[in-house]
Amino acid sequence: MQIRDAVNDDAHVLWRLAMRSKAAWGYSDGFMAACERELFPSDLSMAGVMSDAARPVGFYTLELEDDGSLELGHLFVEPQWWGRGIGRQLMAHAVARARDAGHQFIVIQGDPNARGFYERIGARHVGERPSDSIAGRTLPLFRLPLVS
């Protein structure tokens, strides 16, 4: 399997992958409906897709924020591929892309269930941020340094 650049035609397939991946954490149908808009990968200009022979098994997006920082917009892996290093490979690709673009860190607003993953790849928990989808919910915020 290889990682390729995402193209706009990938958006709906990747959105459905993101919905399946998020739902695998056991979230309710109401919660998932509230997240639909947020999980749609509308900006694929800095995105990578890993596919097996038939279809995507994971993807990431990087998004340039108004303040010039770079944020991980999406990182999702098909649930049946969890635990096989796909997320780690996608993050390594994202880190290389961010370094090549001259960034020194990636901001990550993660799902609470993914906190251990982000910490294992070297991200530091730096605070909390309100969810864009669920009123009253806060999400862990991380900073992943790209230089040692």
Domains of the chain by range and CATH? Answer: 2-145 (3.40.630.30)
pLDDT of residue 101: 92
Q: Which helix (H) or strand (E) holds 81?
A: none
pLDDT tens digits along 73-101: 999 999 999 999 999 999 999 999 999 99
In whole angstroms, what is the distance from residue 133 CA to residue 37 CA? 8
Strands 105-109 and 70-77: parallel
pLDDT of residue 53: 82
Q: pTM to 2 decimals?
A: 0.94
Instruction: Report how far apart, in Å, the C-alpha atoms of 84 and of each of 13, 79, 112 are.
Output: 21, 10, 20
Buried b (16+ CB within 10 A) or exposed e, 47-70: bbbbbeeeebbbbbbbbeeeeeeb
For residue 17, pLDDT over 90 is answered with yes
